[in-house]
Structure 1
């Protein structure tokens, strides 16, 4: 009998649909929401290697995100200094750099890292990681004016940029930090120096149910000594800790108590060992701050140390020549990531291993690292 004359079963279309549906299931015969509960207990790096459907799952909005390394990148000194700053994320599973979506073009974003007349000096671009977001707080334009009249925020899970509320006094060379989902900006200068701005402090709450639409004025500093250069205000145990000079120079320390809205003196042991870029590993949801840890990298000796609050001293974690020339550091998820050697390498230290492990991450080709942050991975639909 001719094959075309063979009658087709009435349920064949149903079987094809069912087969197609089974191909999209994470586990055949099990609803996807139950499959996700099972797969959520497995390391994403394992799921990545098994099959395409599981690989798509770990980048989907419905799956708990793992964390990635985010970097601000600048062209090297021999390139056009007016080239735009770039933003990328390093996926720790695929080990690939991915560019972030472009920031809003209205108004145009002009962030100057090097000026043609001052190639030996880098101009700071001050960024924070706040409640899972990347926040740009302060920078300089090619006309030496503040580049950010309001913060620029990137949300990795939605891959969207947005603006924060306008700053009462846009700044550069300021103190910038975060505690408990709030952004703090203090001191600094605008186009020119003003004493009232150099002593002022502003707060923006990003973490409330409704994001605050304005900055709140807080207790000011006693003088303008913290406006000399960009200062990292380190959030640690409910306070902001900062020094006014980088490196091993003689410096002054200050501590801001967030709850009491008062300024305090920095403990002498902490101040004495603050000899390089510093960062804290903080859980934003931990209101008791029991898991906070503060790290500093001695930029001349290449020594990574951890602050011991009870003894007011710094405890050496490890030392390595690759940590020398440290410029910026971030910490989180058991890792300390250090930008070194004029942004030509990122050194990663596993500080929770019984014996700390260290390895080097190369930036994307023809780019130098300005700053790094540890944030949730971006979602992908492919």
Structure 2
């Protein structure tokens, strides 16, 4: 993600702003080649033609935050007379260049979706909404309906390039409380519970290869887990060096770890050091480095595979109570403070620096992802 620009006021000196010329004296194709090398922040700040070029299909999309959000309990309506629903999920995107939130296009209406973050009868407990980012797509893979049943019979996919939603291949057994993750463009769904607990489902592992042509998409059965202990809560499975890594319980509880070798199609025991330090939400950076946040201590650590230990990157009060994290392009994005803020840590800096992004008023963040910005926007 790009840093937020300091926008200057437009002046009469922006003579080429009025007639849409990108660079005086140059045809648009040559001017575009010159502007490709400039940062999105600069393009946004200088003039309206450059800003329009930044958001046009001709300019390579910069990366933005995508968030799943839920209305706060007893929140104030965002518009006069508006009745705020208490049990829905919305999808929004944060443009780091303009520092603005934009709703994603409406979800498909057929079949109608009921995605709950809370249930009126269980106000003290949040229901999991499981999502992941694969091959520059946002994928919603498991959730709970208003009848406390699995809400999705097929994964719901958003493509930023076309700004459109569509469904993936049908899931053999719709489920929730499962482990979800990806390795090199392949989605994996392990364990979980359908409408009822079944041992074969709790031990199952299935994959969906997005590298194949869309007409060949389907779920394929892979090597089973040895038991059903990973159906206890919603789990993020992290792709790491061609393997899928996960633990069955979050926090500082006794936990079981498992590693799935994608190439060999078999499960392995997780290294003890990795299990011991996996005390909160985790994410991988390009399947090369695993980062984990200890939501009690507020520390962000990375895994050292050579020494089988976790190395602290930064400790922040703001990372306490972190609920979910995403990693991409040198940034770690953490949902914290009961969804009241997103903490962005730049791990490429030494020392690591951080900043906060607040959701729109009346909304709390459930999950966050990093994807290219939507291409259809104009400024």
Task: With the length of structure 2 as denominator, give the TM-score of the two structures.
Answer: 0.90
Alpha carbons 2:72, 2:86 under 8 Å: kept: no
Give 1:211 deviation, angstroms: 5.6
SS at match of 2:306: helix
Cα distance change on mapping 1:240 and 1:133 into 2, 3 Å: same
Aligned to 2:128: 124
Whether 1:332 and 2:328 are equivalent positions in the alignment is: yes
Alpha carbons of structure 1 residues 154 and 114: separation in structure 2 relative to 1, 3 Å: same
Tell me the number of residue pairs that the alignment of Structure 1 and Structure 2 aligns: 356
CA distance in 1, matches of 2:28, 2:220: 46
2:203 is the counterpart of 1:199: yes
Aligned residues of 2:283 and 2:327 also touching (Cα < 8 A): yes
The structure-2 alpha-carbon separation of the partners of 1:28 and 1:209, relative to structure 1 and needing over 3 Å to count, comes to farther
Structure 1 position 84 matched with structure 2 position 88: yes
Task: Determine if contact 1:219/1:262 at 8 Å carries over to the other structure.
Answer: yes
Q: Separation in 1 of the partners of 2:29 and 2:205?
A: 47
Q: Hey, what's the Cα distance between the residues in 1 that align with 2:318 and 2:332?
A: 13
The two structures, once aligned, show a CA RMSD in angstroms of 1.8
1:302 corresponds to: 298
* Partners of 1:84 and 1:318 in 2: CA distance: 34
The answer as to 2:49 corresponding to 1:45 is: no
Measure, in 2, the Cα distance between the counterparts of 1:68 and 1:332. 10
CA contact (8 A) 2:87 2:117 kept: no
TM-score, normalised by the number of residues in structure 1:
0.90
Alignment match, 2:356: 360
1:188-212: CA deviations, max 9, x gaps? 0111101111111111111234463
Which structure's CA Rg is the greater one?
1
**Do the aligned residues in 2 keep the contact of 1:77 with 1:119 (CA within 8 Å)?**
no
1:61 matched to 2:57? yes
For 1:240-255, list aligned pairs within 5 A: 240-255=244-259
C-alpha displacement of 1:345: 1.2
Query: Do the aligned partners of 2:73 and 2:86 also contact (CA within 8 Å) in 1?
Result: no
Q: 2:319 aligns with which of 289, 303, 323?
A: 323
Deviation readout 1:351-375 (Å, 9 max, x if unpaired): 1112111112111100100000000
Q: Deviations over 1:227-248 (max 9, x none)?
A: 0110101111111100000111
Q: Which runs of 5+ in 2 are unaligned?
A: 1-14, 76-83
Q: Distance in 2 between matches of 1:115 and 1:83?
A: 7
Does the CA contact (< 8 Å) of 1:317 and 1:351 recur in 2?
A: yes
Are 1:227 and 2:224 counterparts? no
Q: What is residue 9 of structure 1 aligned with on the other side? A: none
Aligned equivalents of 1:183 and 1:212: distance in 2?
Answer: 14
Match of 1:103 among 93, 101, 107: 107
- Give the equivalent residue in structure 1 for 2:191: 187
In 1, Cα distance between equivalents of 2:256 and 2:169: 31
Contact 1:81 1:116 in 2 (8 A): no
Equivalent of residue 172 in structure 1, options 164, 176, 180 = 176
